[in-house]
Amino acid sequence: MKEKFIKTKGVKQEETTRNLEELKKGKGSKFKNDKKIRNSISVKARILIIIVALGLITIASGIYSVYNLNNVQKGSTKINEVGIRNMIDFDEIAGGTHRIQKLVYHIGNSKSDKEIKEYEEELSGAYEDMMYYAEEALGNAEKDKKEIVNRMTENIKALYENAQKSVNAVKSDNLEGFYSNIEANKEVSKKIEEDVYELIVANDDVIKEVLKNQLDMLKQSQMIALGLAVATLILIAFGILNIRSYIVIPLRNLETKLTEIISGVEAKKGDLSSRVNIKVNDEIGRVGININKFIETLEQIISKLTVNTQDMYNVIENVIGKIEKADTSVSDISALMEQLAASTQEVSATVESVSSETDEAHSEVVEMNNETINLLEYSKIMKSRAEEMKKAALETKEGTGSVVVEIVEKLDSAIENSKSIAQINNLTQDILAISEQTNLLSLNASIEAARAGEAGRGFAVVAGQIRELADSSKDAASNIQQLNSEIVGTVEQLIDNSKNMIKYINETILEDYDSFVDMGLKYDQDASHINEIMNDFNLKNQKLTGVMEMIAQKMTGISDTMEESSRGVMSAATNVTELVEGINDIHVNMDKNESIAKSLKNETDGFVLK
């Protein structure tokens, strides 16, 4: 393997190193002709210019179409609202002229006043209609035609006046006047028809002029639409040529060159000195520039990789030689460390046995100390409870005594007040006496009423009611006496029970409280004595616990020291073993590195560098 490394360090290594130095010195020389690349409009700008131009043409076409539509609409409105309306007005006026003449003839041939009156009303309506159409025609007429409309209006008025004169002549049986007015109306009707004809001709001329203007606008719109269509087609053709020249062809050239480079790399003949040809400075041109920079960077990486592969061969040679020397020394150290580890483990086992027995004794002492502390705490709690019980007994005795005194006083007062119930009996006796007297009075009143006869009948009714009232009072008094007797019996039983309760409280309950207070005092004294004994025992037990803790700490320290020494020896032995394994792994990995270096060399040999 050493001979293989020496051969590889020959001419090719010097050549690849020289190539890398040249690339470092000449970085960017590949693009020295960048200045020759002409500045050009970006692809985005080219597309936007075409789109904006088409949009402007579309907007102009739409605006012009709206303008023409408005003009056509105005012309149509003029024809509909003026031209056709004038034709209707003129036709109605001409028809009204003939209608008035017919009505005049009908009036002349009428045989009754009723018919004449009906025809007169029709005549008036016809005249009003003609005046309405004449006014409407005057409003729609051009300035130069208003004089004709005014003249026609005056003739209509004259026609109606002559018709009225004909009607009056008929009413007065003036046939000569009737026919003379008819002749006059013929002349006026002729003038009206001439004015109407002249206005109809003028109205037709206006309509023809509007139609001619609309036809001219239609032809103009067709020419402009044709021009816009031609301009749109020219812009579309220009856009297609522009996209083909500045987008499609550059992209196709770029794809062809990249395909050529990639095919060479796949065939192990990749020419990294080759570059993409760039003619424009738009987005596609900048893509080509970036591709050339990428190829240049890749060329530098491949050159460095070639040089580093040669250096890797040298490193592998040195490492393998040192691994062979270190392997023998490490094996001897590993055997010595295993013996030392065995001795250390035996000593550590002995120390662990002693330490285990010490820990057991220390645990028992600690447990006893904990029990002592628990008893001490319980004695303190017991003493506290005894004090609380003594205090509570005294307070309960004092509170009970005061409450009992208050209860006795209230019961005495209630017993005195209950004696007033006896007065209710006296009152009911008085009510019974009054009811008897009232009954006697009602009886006397009844007797006197019977003597009085018919005059005393009302008094007898009152006497009967008084007697009923006296009987009701007597019954109520009897019920009150019976109820009062029951209340008095109940009150007497309550008084007896209250006296018995007071006697029991004074003789039994208060004496039991005194006994309870004495027991609390004795319990407090016993608790204090137990607390003093437990305090003394706790102090002695704490000293014993401290001694056992010190012994346990010493044994633990010895055990930890031995364990640490044993771990250190075992760790050293393990490290030596791992070192041996690591050296073997390094040896294996160096063989892999050699294979990798060969593979990298084969890959870099497939590239052509300057």
607 membership: H or E segment, kind and range: strand 607-608
**How far apart are alpha carbons 173 and 588 in whole angstroms?**
154
Which position has the higher pLDDT, 101 or 362?
A: 101
**How far apart are alpha carbons 183 and 161 in whole angstroms?**
13
Cα dihedral 396/399/404/407 (nearest 10)? -130
pLDDT digits (tens, 9 = 90+) for 146-194: 888 899 889 889 888 888 888 888 888 888 888 888 888 888 888 888 8
**How far apart are alpha carbons 137 and 147 in whole angstroms?**
12
pLDDT digits (tens, 9 = 90+) for 515-570: 666 666 666 666 676 667 666 666 766 665 675 566 566 557 656 665 665 666 56
Flag whether pLDDT at 412 surpasses 60. yes
Could you please report the per-residue DSSP string of 41-81? --HHHHHHHHHHHHHHHHHHHHHHHHHHHHHHHHHHHHIII
Take residue 150 and report the two structure tokens written for it: 């005014």
List the beta bridge partners of residue 38.
280
List the beta bridge partners of residue 607.
270
Range among 39-48, 178-187, 345-354 rated most confident = 178-187
**How far apart are alpha carbons 552 and 569 in whole angstroms?**
25
Flag whether pLDDT at 589 surpasses 60. yes
For residue 156, which of 94, 64, 238 has the smallest C-alpha distance?
A: 94
pLDDT of residue 21: 54
Angle at 191 between CA 188 and CA 197, to 5 degrees: 140
* Distance from the Cα of residue 84 to its chain's centroid: 65
pLDDT digits (tens, 9 = 90+) for 249-272: 777 777 777 787 777 777 766 666
What percent of the chain is predicted at pLDDT more than 90? 0
Mean of the per-residue pLDDT values of the chain: 71
List the beta bridge partners of residue 280.
38
**How far apart are alpha carbons 599 and 582 in whole angstroms?**
25
**How far apart are alpha carbons 295 and 276 in whole angstroms?**
9
CATH number for 320-607: choose from 3.40.50.720, 1.10.287.950, 3.30.70.330, 3.40.50.170: 1.10.287.950
Confidence of residue 27 (pLDDT cuts 50, 70, 90): very low
Contacts of 513 (CB under 8 A, 6+ apart): 393, 396, 397, 400
Q: Which residues of 560-571 are buried (b: 16+ CB within 10 A; e: fewer)?
A: eebeebbeebbe
CATH number for 48-244: choose from 3.30.40, 1.10.1740, 1.20.120, 2.60.40: 1.20.120
Contacts of 16 (CB under 8 A, 6+ apart): 303, 306, 307, 310, 609
Residue 83 DSSP one-character state = I
pLDDT digits (tens, 9 = 90+) for 452-501: 667 656 656 766 777 776 677 667 667 766 766 766 677 666 667 666 76
Contacts of 386 (CB under 8 A, 6+ apart): 520, 523, 524, 526, 527
Which position has the higher pLDDT, 334 or 23?
A: 334
For residue 378, which of 545, 518, 537, 515 has the smallest C-alpha distance?
A: 537
Domain boundaries along the sequence of the chain:
48-244, 320-607
pLDDT of residue 37: 46
Asked if residues 510 and 366 have their Cβ atoms less than 8 Å apart, the reply is no
Q: What is the 3-state secondary structure (H, E, C) of 358-381?
A: HHHHHHHHHHHHHHHHHHHHHHHH
Query: Which phi and psi angles does 267 have, rounded to 5°?
Result: -90, 10
